[in-house]
């Protein structure tokens, strides 16, 4: 969840680290810090607040050197304050350490170290780890690498760490178990980061650390070893596959707005080379060799968290309708801990934008131990889920920096639809419907652009509802998961309480909430039109304030609503790609009206890599 940056080389270390932390701030922004070694002194500067607060401190009290590390925190153990900010320094000042993850047995180690006379200055599990490394280093006369490895063999939990030792100032050591780390390889310099965004400006050559691996880095060399056996591991050098401009705002006020407007491109990229409009066929090379096993499966389970779970719900509807296979959608956080009937006749799809979501990663590991085929649907190339699943499909949405996911959601729905189309073609089922969907994919980019023509109207609607305390989102069929996703977006970035429901379920409880102060957003398409119009009239009769997003050209929507947002019609299976975009824009503009930090909403981080 936190952001990690490390550097060793000849450049201005502080500048590289601060710039890297700014690019990683979507991973956490409760506090920030930096540690730099100048050949004599191991300097440590940290503070509560965002990276800009740290930058201000460094402007007044600069630190320089050619080796160092930085961290931007999403708080787990200990409140956000100066003392709990990373890096943490050991008692004797020999070590500094930054950490993403949770050390589960930190309490027992802390109690042991306290008994040895070691005093703690923070409430974090991370300080326990750095103090433990120093204790082992001094007590057992170990080398830097031996002390780090020895400590990691005794801790339980998840970690991505970078450690610096004053006694061996020509080295950085990093290790990973459950939290991502990437090594960037330059000319006479090396970079470490939680993801590739701080690295791309300097090099495209990267190595992904896998589970239970550590790397010892000098300015002129590096090696990767297994933590348990300490054997040297040969690692493949890969290339970053996107450009620097893709992680810049590009003139937009917020990353979230930029990413909403990138959806014509991101949806197209999710189909490019996969949907053949001339032959009316679908090809997905990432799962081609596994199609027989997928088609022969007794059940399909899709597991995900948050926004990806909503995409999974839509995907389950499409697969069941086109392929006639029962699909079960599971929250990864529940699936991993409860008894589930999974075997080698089960296919488990795991969906995650980052490919690092802790619960989803744990869920596929569980599924694989039970014999299931695991299929990853992720955005980040080379991510843990991409590497650990049997096969998979990249969504190719491009980097998504805004904490509230937008373009990744529509790309996930696109890829799930492609999977359903491919399976249906292989089974020779619903041939006409398959061709109709493929044909409508040829128009989806221009139809998304037409939705954007409603942006000014949506912006004005947002002004009417920016002071609301509650919101209800209702939809039927394929639009129910869109209602869930729309409500989540509003909650995430505007802090308005919002709930999504199937429209027909409104009478089973939520209708009690409706009065003149309750905005209700309906998503209306041709399927089930008369039924949902009845729901709209029920809300209207009770004084509710109604917003309608609709692809149906009818005066009935205007008659019973305060606001109507009209969007183009498209095949019902892919209609969520269009209907969700007005909900994204509405959430965005309401949040802006309320003065919220859209890209860095409170208490949230982009990638949930800890439980």
Give the other-Cβ count within 10 Å of 376's Cβ. 27
Residues listed for the chain: 611
Q: Which residues pair with 72 in a beta bridge?
A: 3, 32
Cα 516 to Cα 168, 224, 541, distances in angstroms: 68, 63, 10
What is the sign, positive or negative, of the torsion defined by CA atoms of 484, 485, 486, 487?
A: positive
Please report where in the chains the tokens 């009417």 appear, as a residue: 464
% helix, strand, coil for the chain, step of 5: 40, 25, 35
The bridge status of strand 157-165 relative to strand 95-103 is: antiparallel
Contact predicate 498/472, CB 8 Å: yes
Please report where in the chains the tokens 């221009």 appear, as a residue: 446
DSSP letter (8 states) at residue 87: P
Q: Annotated catalytic sites, by residue?
A: 2, 606
Cα 512 to Cα 35, 472, 507, 508, 515, distances in angstroms: 55, 12, 8, 9, 8
The bridge status of strand 327-331 relative to strand 299-304 is: parallel
Strand 545-550's sheet: what is its strand order? 497-502, 470-475, 519-524, 545-550, 563-566
What is 578-594 written as a DSSP string? HHHHHHHHHHHHHHHHT
Kindly tell me the burial class for residue 370, based on how many C-beta atoms sit within 10 Å of its own C-beta (0-12, 13-18, 19 or more): middle
3-state secondary structure of 222: strand
């Amino acid at each position: 969840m936190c952001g990690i940056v490390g550097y060793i080389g000849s450049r201005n270390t502080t500048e590289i680290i601060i710039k890297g932390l700014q690019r990683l701030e979507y991973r956490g922004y409760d506090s920030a810090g930096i540690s730099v070694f100048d050949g004599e002194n191991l300097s440590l500067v940290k503070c509560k607040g965002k990276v800009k607060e740290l930058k201000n401190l460094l402007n007044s009290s600069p630190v320089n050197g050619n080796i160092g590390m930085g961290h931007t925190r999403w708080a787990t153990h200990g409140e956000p304050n100066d003392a709990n900010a990373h890096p943490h320094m050991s008692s004797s000042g020999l070590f500094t350490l930054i950490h993403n993850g949770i050390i589960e047995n930190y309490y027992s180690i802390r109690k042991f170290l306290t008994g040895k006379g070691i005093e703690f200055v923070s409430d974090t599990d991370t300080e326990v780890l750095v103090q433990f490394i120093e204790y082992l280093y001094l007590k057992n006369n170990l080398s830097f690498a031996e002390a780090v490895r020895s400590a990691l063999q005794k801790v339980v939990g998840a970690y991505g760490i970078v450690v610096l030792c004053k006694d061996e100032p020509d080295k950085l050591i990093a290790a990973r178990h459950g939290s991502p780390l990437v090594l960037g390889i330059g000319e006479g310099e090396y970079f470490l980061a939680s993801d590739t965004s701080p690295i791309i400006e300097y090099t495209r050559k990267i190595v992904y650390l896998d589970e239970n691996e550590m790397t010892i880095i000098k300015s002129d060399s590096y090696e990767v070893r297994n933590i348990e056996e300490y054997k040297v591991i040969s690692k493949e050098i890969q290339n970053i596959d996107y450009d620097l401009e893709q992680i810049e705002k590009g003139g937009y006020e917020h990353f979230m707005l930029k990413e909403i407007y990138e959806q014509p491109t991101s949806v197209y990229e999710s189909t490019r080379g996969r949907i053949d409009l001339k032959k009316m066929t679908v090809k997905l090379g990432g799962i081609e060799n596994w199609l027989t096993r997928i088609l022969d499966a007794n059940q399909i389970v899709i597991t995900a968290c948050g926004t990806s779970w909503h995409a999974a719900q839509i995907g389950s509807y499409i697969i069941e309708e086109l392929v006639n296979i029962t699909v079960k959608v599971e929250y990864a956080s529940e699936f991993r801990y409860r008894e589930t009937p999974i075997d080698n006749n089960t296919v488990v799809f795991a969906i995650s934008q980052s490919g690092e979501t802790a619960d989803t990663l744990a869920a596929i590991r569980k599924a694989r131990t039970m014999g299931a085929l695991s299929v990853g649907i992720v955005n980040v190339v080379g991510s843990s889920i991409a590497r650990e699943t049997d096969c998979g499909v990249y969504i190719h949405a491009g980097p998504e920096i805004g904490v509230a996911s937008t373009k990744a959601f529509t790309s996930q729905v696109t890829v799930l639809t492609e999977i359903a189309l491919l399976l249906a073609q292989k089974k020779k089922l619903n041939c006409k419907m398959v061709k109709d969907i493929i044909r409508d994919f040829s128009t989806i980019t221009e139809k998304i652009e037409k939705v954007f023509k409603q942006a000014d109207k949506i912006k004005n609607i947002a002004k009417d509802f920016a002071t609301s305390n509650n919101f209800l989102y209702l939809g039927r069929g394929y639009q129910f998961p869109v209602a869930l996703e729309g409500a989540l977006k509003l909650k995430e970035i505007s802090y308005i309480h919002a709930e999504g429901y199937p429209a027909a379920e409104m009478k089973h409880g939520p209708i009690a909430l409706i009065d003149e102060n309750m905005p209700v957003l309906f998503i209306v398409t041709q399927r089930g039109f008369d039924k949902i119009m009845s729901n709209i009239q029920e809300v209207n009769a009770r004084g509710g304030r109604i917003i309608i997003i609709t692809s149906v050209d009818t005066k009935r929507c205007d008659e019973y609503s305060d606001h109507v947002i009209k969007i183009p019609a498209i095949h019902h299976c892919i209609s969520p790609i269009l209907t969700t975009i007005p909900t994204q824009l509405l959430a965005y503009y309401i949040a802006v009206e309320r003065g919220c930090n859209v890209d860095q909403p409170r208490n949230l981080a982009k990638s949930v890599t800890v439980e």
